[in-house]
Amino acid sequence: DVVMTQSPLSLPVTLGQPASISCRSSLSLVHSDGDTYVSWFQQRPGQSPRRLIYKVSNRDSGVPDRFSGSGSGTDFTLRISRVEAEDVGVYYCMQSTHWPPWTFGQGTKVEIK
Partner 1 sequence: QVQVVQSGAEVKKPGASVKVSCQTSGYTFTDYYMHWLRQAPGQGFEWMGWINPNTGDTNYAQKFQGRVTVTRDTSINTVYMELSRLTSDDTAVYYCARDGGFDIWGQGTRVTVSS
Question: Which residue, 50 or 66, has its beta carbon nearer to partner 1?
Answer: 50
Point out which residues pair with 36 in neighbouring strands: 30
Contact string 21-50 vs partner 1 (x = CB under 8 A): ----------------x-x-x------xxx
Least separation in angstroms between CB 45 and partner 1: 12
Cα distances (angstroms) measured from residue 47 to each of 38, 68, 92, 95? 22, 22, 14, 21
- How far is residue 37's CA from residue 112's CA, in Å, rounded to a whole number? 30
Cα distances (angstroms) measured from residue 14 to each of 61, 66, 112? 26, 15, 6
* Dihedral angle sign, alpha carbons of residues 27, 67, 104, 5: positive
Under the binding rule (CB under 8 A), the answer on residue 62 touching partner 1 is no
Least separation in angstroms between CB 41 and partner 1: 7
Size of interface with partner 1, in residues (CB under 8 A): 21
Sole binder of partner 1 in the list 34, 65, 101, 113 (CB under 8 A): 101
Query: Which residues would be at the binding site for partner 1 (CB under 8 A)?
Result: 37, 39, 41, 48-51, 54-55, 60, 92, 94, 96, 100-107
